[in-house]
């Protein structure tokens, strides 16, 4: 199947691509490996042409899974992964030193079972290391043929411009959804100026706009336990917005996830949406957004429903907020 595509540097990728994190990181209750392998292959069968992983996810296990599941179909997809953010002595941390980036990349290539990663991101900004030094390590990796395009993640427009001055940045992967609109402060404009693609992760707000969350009864190990917007008393307030969102979706004849993803794609013709899922049925629903008309009146209604700071509670817990460089909205509540 051929899906509508959008450009990331030299690549044309499906406008809805797949974030692989959910399969063994962050949300708990992970599927058995054989089910995860089936899902990844089903994504390719549906026409998804970018798979996104990272060294952090499962402390390398997600890269190993992708390598085992689909590397025999390598010509069918753009492979993306990330460095800098990882587990160090069992604790989540940042290491953007050039030598650390080189070591993480070598490990990623081994885990993935390949000698080349198409799109390699700095997962976060390590404030202790000049962005120019971290990007320089990726430039050298590109010159060595180990990576193709260069990306950054959860960073600001100012940092994007600094990075781009060292080497063209093909993609910036930041959170973007009807409920999380920080990129509208400056990143979207910088992307248009520089020719950088915004890859929008969590377009369905970690399941909140996909009909997946009604209570805070998450599986053991689910990071939403410590994300203020997803626990009480904030969750009940946010579910009022979700109920209104669901009504807009129903009136438009759409699944909630399709309306959320459709809204993101409608904000700019270059944006790539990157949902993740553990369910083949949900995967198929997400991908079907690309062949399902999303009425403009529904998009407008969603925009009106979620003005800046509509959500109750901070986006991240304090430790995670300290590891991002994204702009904050005026009067945004921070942990």
- Report the percent of the chain where pLDDT is more than 90: 95
Residues designated as active site = 57
- The answer to whether residue 273 sits within a structural domain is yes
138-179 pLDDT, tens digit each: 999 999 999 999 999 999 999 999 999 999 999 999 999 999
- The answer to whether residue 80 sits within a structural domain is yes
Q: What is the pTM of this model?
A: 0.97
- The answer to whether residue 34 sits within a structural domain is yes
Q: Answer for the pair 273, 16: CB distance below 8 angstroms, yes or no.
A: yes
- The answer to whether residue 332 sits within a structural domain is no
Count of the separate structural domains present in the chain: 1
Nearest residue to 275 via CA among 267, 301, 288: 288
Q: Answer for the pair 259, 302: CB distance below 8 angstroms, yes or no.
A: yes
Q: What is the pLDDT of residue 1?
A: 78
Full domain range(s) for residue 316? 5-321
Q: Answer for the pair 326, 186: CB distance below 8 angstroms, yes or no.
A: no
Per-residue pLDDT band for 264 (boundaries 50, 70, 90) equals: very high
- The answer to whether residue 334 sits within a structural domain is no
CATH of residue 295's domain is 3.20.20.100
Angle at 33 between CA 55 and CA 31, to 5 degrees: 90
Stretch 120-138: mean pLDDT, rounded? 98
For 301, list phi and psi in degrees, rounded to 5. -65, -40
Nearest residue to 198 via CA among 56, 47, 17, 21: 17
- The answer to whether residue 330 sits within a structural domain is no
- The answer to whether residue 202 sits within a structural domain is yes
Torsion angle, alpha carbons of 97, 92, 175, 206, to 10: 160
- The answer to whether residue 176 sits within a structural domain is yes
Per-residue pLDDT band for 276 (boundaries 50, 70, 90) equals: very high
For 293, list phi and psi in degrees, rounded to 5. -60, 135
Q: pLDDT at residue 90 above 90?
A: no
Task: Name the residue with higher pLDDT: 32 or 88.
Answer: 32
Stretch 225-234: mean pLDDT, rounded? 96
User: How do beta strands 91-94 and 85-88 pair?
Assistant: antiparallel
């Amino acid at each position: 199947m051929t899906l509508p595509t959008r450009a990331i540097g030299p690549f044309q990728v499906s406008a809805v691509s797949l974030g692989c994190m959910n399969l063994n990181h962050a949300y708990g209750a992970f599927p058995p490996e054989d089910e995860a392998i089936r899902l990844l292959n089903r994504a390719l069968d549906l026409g998804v042409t970018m798979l996104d992983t990272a060294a952090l996810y499962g402390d390398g296990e997600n890269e190993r899974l992708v390598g085992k599941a689909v590397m025999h179909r390598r010509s069918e997809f753009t492979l993306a992964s990330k460095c800098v953010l990882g587990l160090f002595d069992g604790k989540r941390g940042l290491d953007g030193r050039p030598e650390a980036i080189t070591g993480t990349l070598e490990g990623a290539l081994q885990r993935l079972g390949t000698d080349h990663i198409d799109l390699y991101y700095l997962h976060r900004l390590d404030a202790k290391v000049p962005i120019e030094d971290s990007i320089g390590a990726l430039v050298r990796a590109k010159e060595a043929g180990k990576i193709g395009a260069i990306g950054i993640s959860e960073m600001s427009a100012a940092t994007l411009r600094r990075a781009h001055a060292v080497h063209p940045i093909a993609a910036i992967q930041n959170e973007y959804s009807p409920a999380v609109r920080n990129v509208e402060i400056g990143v979207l404009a910088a992307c248009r100026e520089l020719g950088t693609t915004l890859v929008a992760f969590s377009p369905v707000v970690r399941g909140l706009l996909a009909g997946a969350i009604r209570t805070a009864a998450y599986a053991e190990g689910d990071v939403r336990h410590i994300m203020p917007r997803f626990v009480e008393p904030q969750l009940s307030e946010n579910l009022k917005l979700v109920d209104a969102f669901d009504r807009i979706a129903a009136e438009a004849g759409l699944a909630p996830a399709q309306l959320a993803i459709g809204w993101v794609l409608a904000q700019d013709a270059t944006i790539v949406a990157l949902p993740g899922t553990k369910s083949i049925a949900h995967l198929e629903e997400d991908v079907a957004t690309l062949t399902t008309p999303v009425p403009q009146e529904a998009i407008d209604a969603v925009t009106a429903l979620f003005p800046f700071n509509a959500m109750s509670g901070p986006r991240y817990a304090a430790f995670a907020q300290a590891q991002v460089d994204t702009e904050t909205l005026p009067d945004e509540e921070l942990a």
